[in-house]
A and B are shown apart, each in its own frame.
Chain A
Amino acid sequence: MKLTVWTYEGPPHVGAMRVATGMKDMHYVLHAPQGDTYADLLFTMIERRNHRPPVTYTTFQARDLGADTAYLFKDAAIAAYERFKPEAMIVGASCTAELIQDDPGGLAETLGLPIPAIPLELPSYQRKENFGADETFFQIVRVLAKPMEKTARITANLIGPTGLGFRHRDDIVEVTGLLMDMGIEVNVVAPMPASPSDIAKMGQAHFNVLMYPETAETAARYMERELGQPYTKVVPIGVGATRDFVKEVAEIAGVEPVMDDSRLRMPWYSASVDSTYLTGKRVFLFGDGTHVAACARIARDEMGFEVVGMGCYNREQARMLRSLAKDYGVEALITDDYLEVERRIEELAPEMILGTQMERHIGKRLGIPCAVISAPVHVQDFPARYSPQMGIEGANVIFDTWVHPLVMGLEEHLLTMFREDFEFHDDAGASHHGHKAKLREMGIRELPDSETVTPEPVQASTGPVEIVWLPAAEKELKKIPFFVRGKARRNTETFAFERGVQEISVDTLYEAKAHYAR
């Protein structure tokens, strides 16, 4: 039994729904109790889909459990076939139905439907959403895709996009463009927006582009083995990765590595002087393994940030991320416990978080700017505008997205210079933000605004030795801009603690500043 407050991933059947909902002419018959239909609104509200997910829920109730629930499944499957006439079905159980062991796969087989009914075994009490999507796509491919003659021209399948995916909609366009520049056509994009008959044609592509290992790696390996299709290992997020991806594709396809980078602005934006202030910003990354790995490279090599920590919530990527973290000289945090992530962020006190919607809330609470780089998704992650993460435009979008939460170059200095000004003071926050999150700085007691300074010193909580802030030092700390104040306090306390200094004076503050100066 595991106490869980917020979850990064839903149950595996939600992963299966993401595959089914991304597809056309596919239907999912899900043996599930009333209430599991809540998952529909993820698609209709968060993703603003204009149709219901193609899912029929058997909706069994307590009174059905004493009797026969299997007939409910059979009736629902027949009714779903007759009403929606899909090309294929996937059938399975949600967590509760798994316990009553009705075997939807076996039941569906007895119905003699004229379409493939693909059984899913998704262990709800062991695995999670990404596994569910990956396994579902794999089973669909295994049943429907067969070896066949390759197309005359060089073609590729793009695999991995699903419903509710983080920017999948736009990444497809971007990657299609990259391939087109090299004269490679796209055969099938799957699971979203393919139909079962499209899946049946996947075998004719020369290779696969694995866009999201989270949702399609098992299928990619299967197709490599059974359909003779190599797949790409580089995920083209970021400038360097996009160039590497182009090289990798060129090698697989035996073509010239051509890339039209006339629209690529990111490297110049990052090199321009206004970006100097990005230098060495301490960032913490958290999300799914694929996005974190790609974004760590961008953060360090393309933005000039310092990566102070990284982690992922999907255990499937734990090994990859652990070894990557080693290259960055940090320890990877592999957890799906939101509170653990929050503790790590508090410990590291980064200047910026690159995370998920969960970390956005952590950032809000701690007063740390955050940009979102990964699922789980929020309605904000489905902008009306074109907003990919992959390829050339993806790099441009990422630059803008990451810089936006920060206080901009010259403004940072102006805020410091005029910090006593009534309207241009540091608590006013960045001018391009409508409002700023209320700070709840870690353990900082706010001083009254008036000149009267608290007589008794403020106690800090670092370690067993009690360190106190003298009033003058506390006041001085207040003059430091809000976006670095937390770090300044922490550094000063660490500095004092290491030297056995128990009272922090203004001098201690500036000695610490000099000590940590970069």
Chain B
Amino acid sequence: MTEQFTPPPARGCANTPVLKERGQHEVFCGLTGIIWLHRKMQDAFFLVVGSRTCAHLLQSAAGVMIFAEPRFATAILEETDLAGMADAQQELDRVVSELLARRPDIKQLFLVGSCPSEVIKLDLAKAAERMSAQFAPNVRVLSYSGSGIETTFTQGEDACLAAMVPVLPQTEARELLLVGALPDVVEEQAVGLLEAMGIGPIRVLPASHINDEYGIGSNTFYALTQPFLTDTHEALQRRGAQHIAAPFPFGEEGTTQWLRAIADQFGVSEAKFAEVTDAPRARARKAVAQASEAIKGKSVFFFPDSQLEIPLARFLTRECGMEAVEVGAPFIHKAVMSSDLNLLSEGPVIAEGQDVDKQLDRCRAARPDLTVCGLGLANPLEAEGLTTKWAIELVFTPVHFYEQAGDLAGLFSRPVRRRDLLKLEAAE
């Protein structure tokens, strides 16, 4: 493929001062990640140790109650558990024993910490260790925190994967590890492209079954597929694994640069790279061009949600012709995000954290053509005449790599096209 990318901006956002906000955060906590993690790890069960609020959140975030008996549940703390710590550990043992007796299909159990369990300092790591010894070798028990006082939305997946890294065996094999829970269709595409370049063996974290696991060591090269996996990144560094830094694989440009960074690491020739990627690149460009017609030249404002905001702003500004007004992220890890920040042209406000009422004031003043925000804000902003895109869909929908690049652009253009289509003078 001869066409090149839009040249990188003269000044990217890597050194833009970040507006740090402290106030009401209109975001999910890390427990939400369980909704997709439990689908990805098919022999895993997620047991939240928390309150009725946690159970209610999971149910509300799942949107519908699809599964009669899903592979997640909440051990709800009651008044009696709060009285004494010894009781809580014993109670947890009882709940877990009953659960594992009823569900012999479970091979990995995650004890997931919540706000209340953190506040009462219920030691889930100790519990996991004790239970691992008790239930080995049939069930491995790990713990992580998805609490709102420590994690924001996608950081729950990060905490979960980070908890899995230390228990992976040691290996010196030269392997590629793709990190992040992606929908199967997307994961298969990535693996297919890389294998076609002759790269392998390719491992995936999280593996879909515990028996598919592999080792980690200094010859493990890993690429993150999601920008929020910063603790996992650090856990892998501690195991001596080597990070392949790249922009995240959203859109044609992001995917190509991400693949190229891996290809370079594994000594893939320019010709081979072109042979594998030219056709899907051309398809992706065409699809993005079509899907982004309605948003070209329009402005976009991101409320913080999943940490995907910066890579997506990069995609929308460089490949879809949008102009970013504000890019809010719950948390910005500069090392992991630098490749994307460098490509995002200077201009937008880069905000970290949130004071939602102040941010709403800025958004209303800017009147962007498209506002990317959480479900709690979307309808209220629509009612004020702003066009919105629910951010959570970006996490639940396959959006990575070439074949989804057009769909990704479509997610942003659909609300804009819809507003143009509807002739609802009488509405609201």
Contacts and interface: CB of A to CB of B under 8 A. Distances in A.
Q: Do A and B share a complex? A: yes
Interface of A: 1-7, 9-11, 13-14, 33-42, 44-45, 48-52, 56-62, 64-65, 76, 79, 83, 94-96, 99-100, 123-126, 128, 339, 342, 357-358, 361-362, 365, 378
Contacts of A62: 118, 147, 149-150
Contact of B98 (A3, A34, A83): A3
A95 B52 contact: yes
Interface stretch (B2-10, B74-82, B280-288): B74-82
Contacts of A2: 75-76, 78
List the 3 closest A-B pairs by CB distance, nearest first.
Answer: A35-B29, A35-B148, A40-B376
A365 B27 contact: no
B24 A59 contact: yes
Contacts of A79: 23, 357
Nearest to B360: A52
Interface of B: 23-32, 49, 51-53, 55-57, 59-61, 64-66, 68-70, 73-79, 81-82, 88, 91-92, 94-95, 98-99, 115-116, 118-120, 147-150, 152, 357, 374-380, 382-383, 428
A64 B147 CA distance: 14
Given A44-B377, A124-B51, 17 more contacts: A3-B76, A5-B70, A13-B53, A34-B148, A36-B29, A36-B53, A37-B28, A38-B60, A39-B56, A44-B378, A57-B25, A62-B147, A95-B53, A95-B115, A342-B68, A361-B65, A361-B68
Contacts, number: 180
A1 B78 contact: yes
A6 B27 contact: no
Nearest to B70: A5
Nearest to A13: B53
Contact of B379 (A3, A5, A50, A378): A50
A7 B29 CA distance: 19
Nearest to B61: A38
26 contacts: A1-B78, A2-B78, A3-B75, A5-B70, A7-B52, A7-B56, A9-B52, A10-B53, A14-B53, A33-B149, A34-B25, A34-B29, A35-B30, A35-B152, A37-B24, A37-B25, A41-B375, A44-B378, A44-B379, A45-B375, A51-B383, A57-B24, A62-B150, A65-B149, A125-B78, A365-B68
A100 B119 contact: yes
Contact of B28 (A38, A42, A125): A38
B422 to A, nearest CB: 15
Nearest to B54: A95
B329 to A, nearest CB: 14
Contact of A44 (B88, B99, B375): B375
A56 B380 contact: no
Contacts of B29: 33-36, 38
Nearest to A2: B76
Given A6-B65, A44-B376, A342-B68, A1 B76 contact: yes
Given A11-B52, A11-B53, A362 B150 contact: no
A35 B82 CA distance: 22
A4 B31 CA distance: 15
B247 to A, nearest CB: 28
Contact of A50 (B61, B95, B383): B383
Given A35-B115, A339-B69, A3 B24 contact: no
B150 A5 contact: no
A156 B36 CA distance: 50
A2 B116 CA distance: 15
A1 B75 contact: yes
A41 B380 CA distance: 10
Contacts of A5: 69-70, 73
Contact of B78 (A9, A94, A126): A126
Nearest to B27: A34
